[in-house]
């Protein structure tokens, strides 16, 4: 086949990683995977055979934390000694630019590890004058550069050359200003909060939006926790479950005949029909620490006997974040998806599916 | 007699590269003249006609499903076999007329994972 014809039949590259394990195993990495994925915009929980919000989730869902929208914040304020000492070095501070597109605009993000990531276009990089590296997904001619500044580095103190250079670049050479979504998680004693640090007209506190719904007569695939690939006639594979879950969350009709003109999609076999299923969706700037709490509560949902065989927890990442897992560079290409999904079984076995798009590294 | 509990699952990891059988597109049809809106079957017919116009009979035979359709907003989720993804998107882009009325397909989001279409951070609205 000639090259142009071959290109027409090629779909964009993508990756789906499926893991299975046991949540109570000492070396289980389920919490580590959640913690490594810093920026999450949407969390959905689906519990079959359940009509209302379960008791174990009531307190976690009621107190899902607060995040802040800080308008017109200059990036050099994130590098200020006071900010680093109050928020970056104590607890976990998360910041991500709001309404910037990773493939078009400059973007900045602050990871809880204290690394400040700036993803800038070529002109900004040359004007800024800070050390960075070309983006992995920018082709032969680098049009995008990534600058990483470690704010917790021992060399990065106010009298040091590094700090002076960074401050000069961000304050005088090329000032960068964005709207930031911020959150700060601190288990220790109360210190100053983000709300009191920034001027009142600049910062706004927001609560994640939470919606509940009950789905009736839902067809659910039958799953066996130790069979990732599924067994013919006995259980479905992770890929089929992943597609089915997408269909449920998008309100797709699961009951089509193969001869139907409009749609031929149907629930994977074998499946059972449940009378009701509970769906809870949380949207906003959600930090991994809260998701770990939610996951632990979902595991304790099965500490009492329940009709459901499994439940799912789906987390969507920000399409315009400069990183996906850990510090892996993330790009948009045609989708910018970086999401993961847990299936927790009655015996606390779990399946974890992590999906990324074209401009992404394999999740750890 | 109590059935023995199966042992806890052992760790296993599978990485599938570009193995999704289908690609999904969330599209919106723009009909600026404000006339009668197509129903689901008419939308599917329009998609097939677009494929036929650009890619011929073979293109029109591409299996496309209209998974959801909202007549009020004229937005739909389409599913297509991965090898036909480029053909479908190009056909939708170049479609200009529906029943002699000017129209355009806007592709809002696309992904090989249907689950990714349920959350779009670019449409995140903060009150």
Chain A nearest-CA distance from B120, in A, is 7
Q: Cis check for the bond before A270: say yes or no (omega within 30 of 0).
A: yes
d(CA B10, CA A20): 7
Set of chain A residues whose Cβ sits within 8 Å of the Cβ of B119: 41-42, 44, 283, 316, 339
Sketch the domain layout of chain B as residue ranges.
22-110
d(CA A340, CA A354): 4
Set of chain B residues whose Cβ sits within 8 Å of the Cβ of A337: 111, 113, 116
* Contact between chains at B121 and A250 (C-beta distance less than 8 A): no
* Contact between chains at A15 and B122 (C-beta distance less than 8 A): no
For A15, nearest residue in chain B (alpha carbons): B17
d(CA A310, CA B115): 18
pLDDT of B7 reads 80
Q: Which of B66, B86, B115 sits opposite A339 (nearest CB)?
A: B115
* Contact between chains at A11 and B23 (C-beta distance less than 8 A): yes
Calculate the average pLDDT of chain A: 91
CATH fold of the domain at B22-110: Alpha-Beta Plaits (3.30.70)
Place of tokens 């809870």: A280
Burial of B83 (0-12, 13-18, 19+ CB in 10 A): middle
Set of chain B residues whose Cβ sits within 8 Å of the Cβ of A282: none
Chains A, B: CB contacts under 8 A, how many?
A: 181
Name the pairing type of β-strands B12-17 and A15-22.
antiparallel
* Contact between chains at A8 and B44 (C-beta distance less than 8 A): no
Within chain A, residue ranges assigned H as helices are 3-8, 30-36, 55-62, 81-83, 122-128, 161-168, 194-197, 238-249, 288-301
Query: How many other β-carbons are positioned within 10 Å of the β-carbon of residue A302?
Result: 19
Q: Which of B13, B109, B114 sits opposite A246 (nearest CB)?
A: B114
Does the pLDDT at position B1 exceed 50? no
* Contact between chains at A262 and B119 (C-beta distance less than 8 A): no
What's the DSSP call for residue A312?
A: E
For B14, nearest residue in chain A (alpha carbons): A18
Number of alpha helices (DSSP H) and beta strands (DSSP E) in chain A: 9, 15
Does the pLDDT at position B3 exceed 80? no
For the segment A317-347, what is each residue's pLDDT rounded down to a tens digit? 999 999 999 889 999 988 888 999 999 999 9
Number of alpha helices (DSSP H) and beta strands (DSSP E) in chain B: 2, 7
* Contact between chains at B67 and A348 (C-beta distance less than 8 A): no
Does the pLDDT at position B2 exceed 90? no
* Contact between chains at B8 and A335 (C-beta distance less than 8 A): no
CB A337 within 8 A of CB A319: yes
Average pLDDT over residues A212-241: 91
Set of chain B residues whose Cβ sits within 8 Å of the Cβ of A317: 121
d(CA A204, CA A69): 5
Burial of A19 (0-12, 13-18, 19+ CB in 10 A): buried
Tell me whether 0.95 is exceeded by the ipTM. Answer: no
> Mind spelling out the 3-state secondary structure of A141-195?
CCCEEEEEEECCCCCCCCCCHHHHHHHHHHHHHCCCEEEEEEEEECCCCCCCCHH
Please give the angle made by the CA atoms of A25, A28 and A33, to the nearest 5 degrees. 155
Average pLDDT over residues B53-73: 93
Calculate the average pLDDT of chain B: 90
For the segment A144-189, what is each residue's pLDDT rounded down to a tens digit? 999 999 999 888 888 889 999 999 999 999 999 999 999 998 876 5
What's the DSSP call for residue A330?
A: B
Q: Which of B14, B79, B82 sits opposite A11 (nearest CB)?
A: B82
d(CA A28, CA A294): 17
CB B17 within 8 A of CB A358: no
Sketch the domain layout of chain A as residue ranges.
12-65+208-356, 67-206
Q: What are phi and psi of B59, to 5 degrees?
A: -65, -40
Does the pLDDT at position B34 exceed 90? no
């Amino acid at each position: 086949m000639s090259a142009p014809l071959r290109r027409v039949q090629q779909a964009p590259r993508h990756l789906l990683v499926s893991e299975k394990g046991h949540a109570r195993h000492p070396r289980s990495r389920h919490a580590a995977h959640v913690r490594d994925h810093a920026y999450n915009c949407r969390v959905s929980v689906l519990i079959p055979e359940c009509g209302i919000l379960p008791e174990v989730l009531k307190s976690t869902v009621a107190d899902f934390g607060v995040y802040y929208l800080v308008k017109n914040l200059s990036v050099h304020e994130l590098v200020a000694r006071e900010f680093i000492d109050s928020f970056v070095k104590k607890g976990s501070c998360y910041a991500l630019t709001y309404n910037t597109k990773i493939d078009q605009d400059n973007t900045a993000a602050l990871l809880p590890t204290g690394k400040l990531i700036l993803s800038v276009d070529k002109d900004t990089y040359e004007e800024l004058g800070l050390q960075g590296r070309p983006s992995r997904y920018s082709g032969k001619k680098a049009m995008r550069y990534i600058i990483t500044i470690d704010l917790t580095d021992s060399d990065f103190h106010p009298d040091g050359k590094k700090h002076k250079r960074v401050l000069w670049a961000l304050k005088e050479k090329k000032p960068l200003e964005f709207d930031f979504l911020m959150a700060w998680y601190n288990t220790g004693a109360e210190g100053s909060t983000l709300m009191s640090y920034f001027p009142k007209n600049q910062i706004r506190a927001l609560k994640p939006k939470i919606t509940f719904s009950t789905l009736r007569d839902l067809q659910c695939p039958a799953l066996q926790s130790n069979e990732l690939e599924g067994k013919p006639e006995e259980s479905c594979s992770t890929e089929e479950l992943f597609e089915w879950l997408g269909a449920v969350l998008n309100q797709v009709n699961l009951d089509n005949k193969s001869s139907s003109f409009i749609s031929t999609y149907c629930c994977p076999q074998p499946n059972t029909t449940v009378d009701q299923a509970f769906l809870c969706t949380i949207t906003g700037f959600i930090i991994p620490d809260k998701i770990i709490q939610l996951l632990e509560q979902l595991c304790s949902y099965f500490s009492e006997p329940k009709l459901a065989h499994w439940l799912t927890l789906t987390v969507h990442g920000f399409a315009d974040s400069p990183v996906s897992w850990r510090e892996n560079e993330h790009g948009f290409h045609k989708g910018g998806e970086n999401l993961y999904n847990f299936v927790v079984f009655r015996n606390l076995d779990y399946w974890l599916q992590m999906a990324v798009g074209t401009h992404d590294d394999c999740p750890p | 007699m109590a059935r023995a509990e199966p042992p806890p699952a052992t760790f296993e990891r599978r990485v599938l590269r570009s193995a999704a059988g289908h690609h999904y597109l969330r599209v919106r049809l723009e009909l600026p003249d404000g006339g009668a809106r197509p129903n689901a079957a008419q939308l599917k017919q329009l998609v097939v006609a677009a494929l036929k116009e650009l890619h011929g009979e073979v293109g029109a035979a591409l299996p496309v499903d209209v998974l959801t359709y909202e007549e009020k907003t004229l937005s739909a989720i389409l599913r297509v076999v991965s090898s036909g993804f480029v053909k479908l998107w190009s056909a939708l882009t170049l479609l200009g007329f529906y029943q002699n009325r000017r129209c355009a397909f806007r592709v809002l989001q696309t992904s090989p994972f249907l689950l990714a279409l349920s959350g779009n951070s670019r449409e995140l609205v903060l009150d």
